[in-house]
Each structure stands twice: as structure tokens, then as C-alpha cells.
A and B are shown apart, each in its own frame.
Chain A
């Protein structure tokens, strides 16, 4: 057989197939698909997709969305592999700063209208999205944390009236002790399971206690990783949380229920008949889960809330807030356009109207909120004195994960608190 002729035929075939593979790639069509990664699933995912729909219709571009609770791992891998999404939700300003420092995030200074940003958003929101003098993250929605939800009918049966919310933590303690003695039931429902992020609902309790016990200055120092985790104020905050969560007379199902129940279903006993518990501590987004799981529930009559009460009289009215940040990992005209669109009041109104979100954009007025409940939360967010960002979300990913794990370890074994706090302090001090 004449192998050199065979070889020539094959080399031509290879050349042709290679050319065919390269050909159309160079000429791009007018519409583009943007890959977006976020932490949202379920109804939150649907709301985000509804939010980008008008942009898709207007520009002809498409958004392909992928949701994962383990977004840190997903983003780290894809960035390391040189295959980042166009846009991605960032777990918090801490991780945002890490990605920005590593050069993975593109500056949004030219993507958004900074004058509009500064007039439409409070200074805190722009500051939190800024790293090294550049805007790298925008807030799509905000949430107010540390709200205490209850069913007004059940609570009044249990002999407690929350029409004027408890002013101080001591008032609240009196109220839930009354519930306990009147009904013999556990007043609180708590569940901290959440896949790889298990423990985070407990960190919200600790933040609420710490902010109101040690004050905003210490709280900000903590968020900036300048406060020792084994400081006495910190230990007091954890122990205050422990006084509720580690007391099986106060918490539904005891530690096994708390640890094994997902935050998204932890409130179930509150809506059971007869109720298994009366109070549930969670951020404002949880109402989305209430009405999704129990479509017959009427906001206001079947559930309502009050803000976490003050503790130290020196600090009145602070609130822990949080928000969903978005950053650009791949620069393109389409990605910049989408970012710009997402900061507008028009875009944010869409999610606000669907429920479960508060807009940090001041142009989204209170009448856009679908019910009195969210309106009340939005009002609380505006009235917060001062609004303090979630101190956990400001930490590095490693420290935040250790905070989550620490909560789980504390609930499982309350005696190990000192070990847990020393471990966290060691992590902070070593700059992890």
C-alpha cells in the first residue's frame, strides 16, 4: 500500500475538519448568551429570571442562569479554570474584595451611571460594593435580618400581645416565658441546616445580639476582622443565643431538630395546628418561603413580625441588613449593559412586586411593595439607626465558613464554646 498517498489524504481531511471547526466561530451573531451564576433557587430564581426578562426582550440577548448554594466553590473553580461566568452573585462583600484583589472582577465604574448610583442608593450600599476605589459589586436586592415572625392569632391565644412590639430583649424574654408557661409548648422554632452553609441562621442571632450588646462601633470592627473572636462581648453574644437554642424548653425539638432541620422548613411547626412553636427569627426573605409552602397564609393576619428588640440602652434602633451583590467576571458590552439595567429602579421593582425582596434603590417607592409586610420591612430598613451590614458576609470565605461550622458545633456541644471561639480567633489572627 502506498502509505504516503494515504497520509496525504488524511492530512487534507484533518485540515478540512479543523477549518470547519474554526470557521463560524470568528463571525459572531448579534445576540449573545450571558452566563450568570447565583445563589438563588426556586421562587427566588424565578423572580430573578422575571427581572432580566424585559432586558432580554429589549436587547435580544439571553441569560442562562445557574443556581448553587455552594457558590464559592463554583466561582473559585471556574475562575481558576479560566472559564468564569459573565456575571455572578457574590456571597458577600468579603468574598467580593477577595475576588477583586485577585483581579477576577472587572470594574463597573464605566458600566453604571455613577451619578445616578450615588443619588439613588444610600452611601453605605455604594461603599460596600467598592473595592480599592472601584465599584465592583452592585446590590440587586436587600434584606433586613433579625426579624421575629409570629402568627398573631396563636400568640394572643398563648396570652401574649405583640401589637406594640417588645421594646427590649428582656420584654421579649418575659413574653416567651409566658408562652412557655401558658401553653407548655416551646416558644421558638429554629433550624440551622443549609447544605454546605449549615449554621448560618445561627450566625444571624449572634450578630443581632452582638450589635445590640456591644454597639455599632465594635460591630463594625468585627466586620472588618479587627475584633477578637474570644473577646468577652463576643462570648456574651454567643451565650445569649445559647440561652435560647440550647434550652429544649424554649426551642422546638431540641438540638436534634435545630441541627437537622433546613432553615427553609424550620418554621413549619409554627403554622401547624395546634402550633408547635410561636416565634421564628429570620431575615425578611423568609416570607417568600411562607407563602410558597402555605399558599393560604395571609400576610398580616396569619403571620407578621417585629424587629429584633434593643438590649443595651446606649444603642437604640440598629439593624443588621444584607444584600445580594452581583459582579462582572467577564467584560463585554452586553454584560455591562445588563449590570446597568439591574441597578435601575425599573428592574428592581419587578422583584419587589413579586415579593421577598427589598430594593436598596431609593426610587423604588413604598407603594411598589406587594403587601404591608414587606412594606413594614422596607420601612424598618430605611429607619435603621444605623443599618449595619451583615458582619459575617464581610469576612473572608474561610472565616465565614468557620463561623457557620462554629454555630453547629456550639449547638451540638455547648460546653465547647471557648474552644470554638479560640479556634475562630486563631483563624482571624493568622489572616485566613
Chain B
């Protein structure tokens, strides 16, 4: 069995590059058979061919198939048009999931950007910048599932009874130092969505900070110095010079975060599984598919998510084109 695995591994490691080189050699040989005038037109297509095939097979085909499934009944036998979408959007719990996605969109994106910016600017001014940034970046190395578990422990709840200790870090502080009643952070509907969002913010703040920090180093010091010479306060320098110059960077991070907020799944799955009104669309899609085995509803939700991401993608593409143009 192990010998079989090893030969398979060797075959894969050696075989894949060999096939690739072979493809290049063969296509080039084919191109040289063509009249020279055709070379320029054919070559690019043959070179991007494999990538196009992979994108078609693993992205375009599944996308179209999902759209197709979403228009049929669950057994795939009769065409129902947009009825699945009507069914999904008429479900109160789906509307709650959409509301939660909006909460994620606003607060997750906003908080990561703000924290990232503040930390980057502050870290820029201290001599021990490196260690601080490494420390804040560290949660990025943790998977979301692990982060969800860590924060489940942080948010643990114990009733406030004599002899009972708060085992959750947050409630320990809340009850023992601030003398408040313990809060069931992931269950109490007033706070639970924000509790979940904050766990994700904790993971991604380091990412926003590192990118913002790099952009910050790229701002020419003459600009800020000139402003200071002209009598600008530090706050004015930050608001009028630093932030405007960082805007392109913040936009890139922001759009990444928006896409992430729309497909948020892991933390919700681990911490609440969508219960207590914390469900989001991606978790719901998973539930429809794997628990209810309702592929039609699941596909309809997938299409709704895709529709929600498209504006962000268009915005991103436009901005790339704009940047190319001014270059």
C-alpha cells in the first residue's frame, strides 16, 4: 500500500512538470508548422489554453451548473423558473441571515480597516515596531475554525451563583472586575452577532495593519514634514495627508474584506452553527445542501451570494483599469 502511494507521489511530482514541458514543446512544434503570419495570433491562445481549460472546468462550469440547478425542483426534474428564489427570500430565517451578512459587511469591514489603520500609524512611531506587528499579525496564521474555538472559550458563560467561577475570559473580567451580571455572549441576541464579528476582526486586523503599514512607509516624508513646517497639527497631518494618500490601499483591503464578509462561514459554523439568529447566507447554503439535502434552495442561495459579490468585482475591475490608465 505504501509502495503504491510512493510511486503515485513520484508519478505526480515528476509527471506533472513533464506533461507541462511536453505541452509547451508540442504546441511550439505545432505553431512552427503554421505560416509565420499566423504565429502571433495562435500562440497566446495555446499558451493560456491550459489555464482557460482549468477555469472553465472548475469555475465557469460549476457556476453555470449551479444557476441551472437553482431553476429546477430539488429532484432536478421540472423547471420552476425563479420559484426557488421566491421560496428562499420568503423565508423569515433567510431574511435574518441577509441582515446578519449586512452586519458583517458594515462592522467587520469597518472595524478591521479602522483598527488596521490605527495600529499601522501607531506602530510606525515606536522603536519596537517589528515585534508589535508580528504579535498582531499572528492570529492570521490561525485557521478560522481554531479562532472560533478560541473565542468560544473567551465567551463562555456560567451562571452568577455563589461558588461558581466564570470560566470565560470575558465574563471573568465583566463579573469580577466590573461587577456586572454575566452575559451569554454568543446566545444573547443583543450582542451575539457582534461577538462573532469581533472574533473575525481579531483574525484579520493584522492583515489590514501590515498592508496599511507598508503603504504608510511609501508616503514621502517631505510631504508630512512640509505640512508640519506649515503649522499643521499631528491630527491634521493624519487626516489631510496620510489618510488621502492611503485611500487606494484601504480600498483594496476594503474590497477584499467585503468579499470575505459576504462569504463568512467558518466562525459562525463553529461558534453557533447559525443558531440564536446568527445565521449567514453561506452557512445557510451549507445547511440547505448537507443537512436538508435541498440542492435547489442551496443553489438559489449560492446565486444570490454571487449576485451580491458581482458589484464588488466590477468596482475592483474598474479601479484596476483606472490605475492602469493613469500609469
Q: Does A364 contact B (CB under 8 A)?
A: no
Residue of B1, B157, B287 near A260 (CB, 8 A) is B157
Q: Does B188 contact A (CB under 8 A)?
A: yes
User: How many residue pairs at the A-B interface have CB separations less than 8 Å?
Assistant: 107
Distance from B229 Cβ to chain A, minimum over Cβ atoms (Å): 58
Range for the number of chain B residues in contact with chain A: 35 or more
> In the complex, are the beta carbons of A7 and B22 less than 8 A apart?
yes
Residue of B4, B159, B276 near A412 (CB, 8 A) is B276
Q: Does A276 contact B (CB under 8 A)?
A: yes
Which residues from chain A contact B29 at a C-beta distance below 8 Å? 3-4, 7
Q: Does A152 contact B (CB under 8 A)?
A: no
Interface code A201-241, partner B: CB below 8 Å = 1, 0 otherwise?
00000000000000000000000000000000000000000
Distance from B161 Cβ to chain A, minimum over Cβ atoms (Å): 7
> In the complex, are the beta carbons of B184 and A259 less than 8 A apart?
yes
> In the complex, are the beta carbons of B184 and A408 less than 8 A apart?
no
Closest B residue to A21 using CB positions: B11
Residue of A33, A195, A260 near B187 (CB, 8 A) is A260
Which residues from chain B contact A23 at a C-beta distance below 8 Å? 7
Which residues from chain B contact A11 at a C-beta distance below 8 Å? 22
Q: Does B244 contact A (CB under 8 A)?
A: no
> In the complex, are the beta carbons of B22 and A17 less than 8 A apart?
no
Distance from A430 Cβ to chain B, minimum over Cβ atoms (Å): 10
Given known A72-B290, A256-B188, A398-B294, contact A10–B159 (CB-CB < 8 A) = no
Interface code B251-291, partner A: CB below 8 Å = 1, 0 otherwise?
00000000000000000010001011000000000110011
Given known A24-B7, A72-B291, contact A14–B18 (CB-CB < 8 A) = yes
Distance from B171 Cβ to chain A, minimum over Cβ atoms (Å): 10
Which residues from chain B contact A429 at a C-beta distance below 8 Å? none
Residue of B8, B25, B164 near A7 (CB, 8 A) is B25
> In the complex, are the beta carbons of A10 and B21 less than 8 A apart?
yes
Bound form: Cα–Cα A405–B4 in Å = 46
> In the complex, are the beta carbons of B273 and A196 less than 8 A apart?
yes
Interface centre among B15, B182, B275, B294 (most CB of A within 10 A): B275
Interface code B183-199, partner A: CB below 8 Å = 1, 0 otherwise?
01011110000000000
Residue of B158, B187, B292 near A397 (CB, 8 A) is B292
Closest B residue to A411 using CB positions: B187
> In the complex, are the beta carbons of A17 and B294 less than 8 A apart?
no
Distance from A19 Cβ to chain B, minimum over Cβ atoms (Å): 9
Distance from A280 Cβ to chain B, minimum over Cβ atoms (Å): 16
Bound form: Cα–Cα A412–B159 in Å = 16
> In the complex, are the beta carbons of B275 and A10 less than 8 A apart?
no
Which residues from chain B contact A253 at a C-beta distance below 8 Å? 158-159, 161
> In the complex, are the beta carbons of B18 and A20 less than 8 A apart?
no
Question: Count the A residues whose beta carbon is within 8 Å of the partner chain — how many?
Answer: 45
Closest B residue to A4 using CB positions: B29
> In the complex, are the beta carbons of B294 and A77 less than 8 A apart?
no
Q: Does A252 contact B (CB under 8 A)?
A: yes
Which residues from chain B contact A73 at a C-beta distance below 8 Å? 286, 290-291
Residue of B7, B276, B291 near A398 (CB, 8 A) is B291
Which residues from chain A contact B18 at a C-beta distance below 8 Å? 10, 13-14, 17
Residue of B159, B161, B286, B290 near A256 (CB, 8 A) is B159
Which residues from chain B contact A274 at a C-beta distance below 8 Å? 163
> In the complex, are the beta carbons of A25 and B291 less than 8 A apart?
no
List residues of A (248-273) whose CB comes within 8 Å of B's CBs: 252-254, 256-257, 259-260, 269, 272
> In the complex, are the beta carbons of B25 and A260 less than 8 A apart?
no
Given known A7-B22, A25-B4, A276-B161, contact A18–B292 (CB-CB < 8 A) = no
Bound form: Cα–Cα A98–B276 in Å = 29
Q: Does B135 contact A (CB under 8 A)?
A: no
Which residues from chain B contact A397 at a C-beta distance below 8 Å? 291-293
Which residues from chain B contact A259 at a C-beta distance below 8 Å? 184, 187, 276
Q: Does B19 contact A (CB under 8 A)?
A: yes
> In the complex, are the beta carbons of B290 and A77 less than 8 A apart?
yes
Residue of A13, A20, A276, A405 near B7 (CB, 8 A) is A20
Which residues from chain B contact A260 at a C-beta distance below 8 Å? 156-157, 184, 186-187
Bound form: Cα–Cα A259–B8 in Å = 49
Which residues from chain A contact B184 at a C-beta distance below 8 Å? 256, 259-260
Interface centre among B3, B11, B21, B286 (most CB of A within 10 A): B11
Chain A residues with a Cβ under 8 A of chain B: 3-4, 6-7, 10-11, 13-14, 17-18, 20-21, 23-25, 29, 33, 72-73, 76-77, 98, 195-196, 198-199, 252-254, 256-257, 259-260, 269, 272, 274, 276, 397-398, 401, 405, 408-409, 412, 432
Chain B residues with a Cβ under 8 A of chain A: 1, 3-4, 7-8, 10-12, 14-15, 18-19, 21-22, 25-26, 28-29, 156-159, 161, 163-164, 182, 184, 186-189, 269, 273, 275-276, 286-287, 290-294
17 A-B residue pairings within 8 Å (CB atoms): A7-B22, A10-B21, A11-B22, A14-B15, A17-B14, A18-B11, A20-B10, A20-B11, A21-B15, A24-B4, A33-B1, A196-B269, A199-B275, A256-B184, A257-B159, A408-B276, A412-B187
| Extra A-B contacts (18), CB below 8 Å, given A259-B187, A398-B293 | A7-B26, A10-B25, A14-B22, A17-B11, A18-B11, A20-B7, A21-B11, A23-B7, A72-B290, A73-B290, A198-B275, A253-B158, A256-B188, A398-B291, A398-B292, A401-B291, A412-B276, A432-B292
Q: What are the 6 A-B residue pairs with the smallest beta carbon separation, nearest first?
A: A21-B11, A253-B159, A73-B290, A398-B292, A256-B184, A260-B157
